[in-house]
Amino acid sequence: MRIQAPPTREPKRIARPTTRRITWWDADRRWIADQRWAVLIAVGCLFSPLAAIWDAGILGVGGFVGGASNGGWIQSANADSEWLSTVPIADDEEIAALIEGLGSDSYATRVRSRQQLSRIGLAAFDALRRARYHPDNEVAIVARKLTSDGRVQWAISSDSDEVREILDEFSSRTVMARKQRISRLASLPIMESFPALVRVARFEPESSLSRFAALALLAQPVREMDGRENGLPANSNADGIAKDEESRWKGLSEHDRSLMAKHLDVVFEEDPRISSQWLKQYANELTSGLFDPQAWTDLIEQMEIHWQTDPAENSQWQLGVVTGDELFHLTWLNAERALVLGQSDEAASFFIRHIDVIPSRTRELTDAALWAIDHQLFDVVTAAHAKHQSLFEKSPPLLYASAEALLRSDQPELAEQRAEMALKLNPVVNADEEDAPQLHPVLLENNEQAHLRSAADLLDRGLYDWAQDEYRMMVDQLPLANISAAMARTELAEHLAELQRPAEVVEVLQPLVERMEKDDSFRHRYMAHDFDYQSLRSLLDFQAGLDLAAKQDPTAASKRLQAAFEMDTENIDILIAMYRLEWDEPWKESVVARIESVLSEIDEDIAETQETFRQSGNGRSGRQVAIRDLLLANFYNQYAWLVSNTEGDYEKALQRSIRSLELSPGSEALLDTCGRCYYAAGNLPAAIRTQRRAVQLTPHSPPLQRQLKLFETSWLDANPGKTLDELPEVELPIAEGSAQERTDRQRRLGVVPPDGPLSFLNQ
């Protein structure tokens, strides 16, 4: 997309003699004169440090402040703003003459012009960017070099060490590498990285990166507003409206926002590019404290009007091309910003008004629909379905998203109809009718995998009935020896085990395990898909033991539980179930002895892991350190979980649980263990608040929800007459994992982070 730019001044043309034929002598004489000028300039550089700096060809960001009359930097009278003192100003007439001098017949003039433009620095950046498309090729080539030179100094003295490290040799890196560094800047605290991001958005010559930096600036407050519960800003009331303005902006005071707005206004005042218009509007919102949907609508409509503008009629340097994906990210990001500012109605109406910017692709539509559902913006999903009806009705993920939106908005009958439509898509067997088209085996196998993915996604979103329908459809329609059917049985059994329905687990698993024990070929094929027969056999015995214990048959239950633990000694949940089995004293003593043995083994694993990584380089960065931390966190967590659910040193278990969270911040499983440790130690308020964090991260996990209910019930029983609203505040020594830390850790371990309005920063 190209946006029409305002007319520019016609460049002054230098007359060149064309009537006299230039002889070889004339050419030689001109060359000798040019070399004489070059020698004189070089000698002058030896005696002039300033000239040497000029000759370096560097467009500096933090260069001469306020001293030069021919271009320099604004000196702000505002003592609060160091940023404004780094904004370049320019003498347009002098810069225009110097740019024309780049194409002069005189070598000395060309060198002088280049040196003076370098001395002026970024104050000449806009004019040089225009000159990249100058009709004189020589001028265009030099202008491109001056704006793209790897020696450009992007960092300034007031930048933090981390910002300077990110911007080190910024221009000399590839487009992809610069994009990654912009993402790194955006992950830093706002007031630390804001001026650097502004710098990149304003002066990055690659227009796509300039727009990317502008989007990153818009995303910064959203990224820091991660202290929300149930999709609403922290300190908000039941209607989602923040109690005060500073709460909405999550740590950005009115003074900070005023400083940011002033900086944006000054830096982008003369910049006509569309990304600069975004940031000017952002400055208005920093001042008002509210999202302005109409202003953004005007900008989006302006972009859409010029979407088909003829490139020949539009200057690339001025406004550039806004892609469809960028427009989608801009719209989605603005809707998210409206949400975190407590303007949920404006967020919904804004996204619905621009629903056509969502690309007609399943992934983007699904991501946007699930985001809308998570924030209870069900009308957005309805609008997307109406706009892309044919695509919705061919895609199970989109149909399930539409069904979920209907279910959450109290339309269960219509929701069930959509879910049934989704279930019938992608058949896994050919129809029996003779005239029915027969699907290729490869297509049938792909359909099987699609249903497995749908079931897993539905479980993640707490839609258990629809997920079970997906699994049971595969179990019913596919032969027992089919690998996809075996996977469906296994995943369904694990889900039913989480729901504490052991009899159903046995019913699902028993045929599969028996087939494996009779058919070696099938067992080997099953294990080739990363499934373990021993773990499956152990799960069957474990659930059968729990079922027998519920039926008050401890003798039979103990045998099945022992068999389960012998097949999978790493599953300490079996050992916990054995400890809780009400039987005789010898049984209790034998179980306690096993627990002590397992705890000793965990201690040995911890010591061995620490020693192994100490010998191989404890300070090594990257994937190896991530794996080390993951291993240690797992061992600490195992120790803490086993002790807190049985007996032992509860204080030691708590400290090890906290240590696991320091190594792996923000893990819901580790938080779940930590909550249990607080519960075992008798600190119910800390247990409840820790468990709430875990449930907030994984709201649809039955075990996490069950444990939270246990903690809350225990506190209410211990405090009759009180409500959970009266739960005392406690300070938890638990590491908080930021969204960026969790994403970085996922990427180091090879895990794809979830998509969302900020996903463009992680591409």
What residue type is assigned to position 315 of the chain?
S
What's the burial of 198, exposed, middle or buried (CB within 10 Å: 0-12/13-18/19+)?
Answer: buried
* Res 239: pLDDT: 40
Instruction: Check: CB of residue 73 under 8 Å from CB of residue 64.
Output: yes
Task: Look at 142 and 483; give whichever has higher pLDDT.
Answer: 483
Lowest mean pLDDT across 185-199, 240-254, 559-573:
240-254
Query: Model confidence at 320, in pLDDT bands (50, 70, 90)?
Result: very low
In whole angstroms, give the CA distance from residue 353 to residue 380: 9
* Contact present, 556 and 579 (Cβ < 8 Å): no
Q: Residues 383, 401: contact at Cβ < 8 Å?
A: no
**pLDDT tens for each residue of 636-682:** 999 999 999 999 999 999 999 999 999 988 889 999 999 999 999 99
- Between residues 346 and 69, which one has the greater pLDDT? 346
Instruction: Write out pLDDT tens, residues 37-87.
Output: 333 333 333 333 333 333 333 344 433 333 333 333 333 333 345 565 555
Question: What is the rounded average pLDDT of the residues 255-274?
Answer: 87
pLDDT (mean) for 729-755: 60
Per DSSP, the three-state class of 229 is: strand
Q: Amino acid identity, residue 757?
A: P
In whole angstroms, give the CA distance from residue 684 to residue 212: 47
One DSSP character per residue, 110-161 reads HHHHHHHHHHHGGGGHHHHHHHTT-SSHHHHHHHHHHHH-TT-B---TTS-H
The pLDDT > 70 percentage for the chain reads 76
| Residue 183 pLDDT grade (very low, low, confident, very high; cuts 50, 70, 90) | very high
Mean pLDDT for 450-477 is 96
Residue with tokens 């020589």: 138
Q: Which residue(s) pair with 30 in the sheet? A: none
In angstroms, rounded to a whole number, what is the distance separating the alpha carbons of residues 73 and 394?
A: 58
End-to-end Cα distance, the chain: 22
CA nearest neighbour of 757 among 218, 216, 332:
332
> What pLDDT, in 10s, does the model give residues 224-263?
664 433 333 333 443 443 445 555 676 678 888 899 999 9
Mean pLDDT over the full length of the chain: 80
Confidence class for position 443, pLDDT limits 50, 70, 90: very high
217: tokens are: 């600036």
pLDDT at 100: 82
pLDDT at 206 over 70: yes
pLDDT category of residue 96 using cuts at 50, 70 and 90:
confident
Three-class DSSP category at 89? strand
* DSSP-derived secondary structure for 272-322: -SHHHHHHHHHHHHHHHSS--HHHHHHHHHHHHHTTT--GGGS-HHHH-B-
Split at pLDDT 50, 70, 90, the class of 707 is: very high
pLDDT value of residue 46: 33
More confident residue, 716 or 583: 716
> Which H helix or E strand runs over 73?
strand 72-73
> What local confidence, expressed as pLDDT, does residue 123 receive?
65
On the CB side of 429, CA atoms within 13 Å amount to: 13
Q: Which of 113-122, 423-432, 608-617 has the highest mean pLDDT?
A: 423-432
- Looking at the DSSP bridge assignments, the partners of residue 72 are 89
> 145: pLDDT confidence band, cut at 50, 70 and 90?
confident
Average pLDDT (517-541) is: 91
Closest among 494, 475, 642 to 573, alpha carbons compared: 642
Both tokens assigned to 643: 């002790």
Over residues 343-354, mean pLDDT: 95
- Return d(Cα 591, Cα 645) in angstroms, integer: 13
Is residue 618 predicted with pLDDT exceeding 70? no
